[in-house]
């Protein structure tokens, strides 16, 4: 029986921490869907299409991963994908309360769902999309925090030149 796991998020932008979780999930499950959320109520820096492009450009070499998008309840998306496995990244203790609350709600809405928590590599423990955007906005290089394609997209979005390529 094939196991499809769904890793949802806004990925605004995708970071090396996200990529680390995707790679770990790909080693654990037969198929991983990176599900980009389409939440019109949330002010995103990148459009859904741009975020999908970001993810696709980074996971193209992972044969058991692909990208999708969803709006509305995550559990409804899981059902359409015939998945009961949900991947969530836990960076620090501060993430735990929110993630446990969401896992409990998802289980109440979809009894069969199992949430699997994965910790990123220690170097990504305090990395967040918000911090990456702020660093780029202020003109610093983000190459240590995001894949090269994403760094280029961030520089374009914020009208920045990169004098610190690595």
Q: For residue 166, what pLDDT is reported?
A: 43
- pLDDT at residue 11, as a whole number: 97
Domain CATH code at residue 154? 3.40.50.620
Residue 92 lies in a domain: yes
Helix runs in 5-139, H state only: 16-28, 48-59, 74-80, 93-109, 129-137
**pLDDT at 165 > cutoff 60:** no
> Distance between CA atoms of 111 and 114, rounded to whole angstroms?
9
Quote the mean pLDDT of the chain.
93
Predicted TM-score (pTM) of this structure:
0.93
Tell me whether residue 82 is in a domain.
Answer: yes
Residue 163 has pLDDT above 60, yes or no: no
Instruction: List the catalytic residues.
Output: 18, 42, 91, 129
pLDDT at 160 over 80: no
What tokens were used for 148?
A: 């090269």
Residue 22 lies in a domain: yes
What pLDDT is stored for residue 41 in this prediction?
81
Q: How many distinct structural domains can be found in the chain? A: 1
12: in domain: yes
Percent of the chain with pLDDT over 70: 95
CA dihedral 133, 135, 18, 103 (to 10 degrees): -70
Cβ atoms of 153 and 50 within 8 Å: the answer is yes
pLDDT number for residue 162: 55
Neighbours of 106 (CB within 10 A): 19
Q: Is residue 166 part of a domain?
A: no
User: What confidence category does residue 161 fall into, taking pLDDT thresholds of 50, 70 and 90?
Assistant: low
Segment 30-88, tens digit of pLDDT: 999 999 999 888 899 999 999 999 999 999 999 999 999 999 999 999 999 999 999 99
Domain encompassing residue 110: 4-158
In a domain, 126, yes or no: yes
């Amino acid at each position: 029986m094939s196991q499809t796991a769904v890793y949802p998020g806004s990925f605004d932008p995708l970071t090396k921490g996200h990529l680390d979780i995707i790679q770990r999930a790909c080693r654990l499950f037969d198929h991983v869907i990176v599900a980009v959320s389409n939440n019109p109520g949330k002010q995103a820096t990148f459009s859904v299409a741009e975020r999908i492009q970001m993810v696709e450009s980074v996971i193209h070499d992972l044969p058991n991963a692909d990208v999708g998008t969803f709006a509305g309840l995550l559990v409804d998306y899981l059902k359409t994908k015939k998945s009961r496995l949900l991947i969530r990244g836990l960076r620090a203790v501060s993430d735990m309360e929110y993630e446990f609350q969401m896992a409990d709600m998802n289980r109440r809405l979809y009894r069969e769902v199992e949430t699997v928590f994965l910790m990123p590599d220690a170097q990504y423990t305090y990395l967040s999309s918000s911090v990456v955007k702020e660093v780029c906005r202020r003109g610093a290089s983000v190459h240590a925090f995001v894949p090269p394609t994403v760094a280029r997209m961030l520089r374009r979005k914020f009208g920045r030149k990169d004098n610190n390529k690595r």
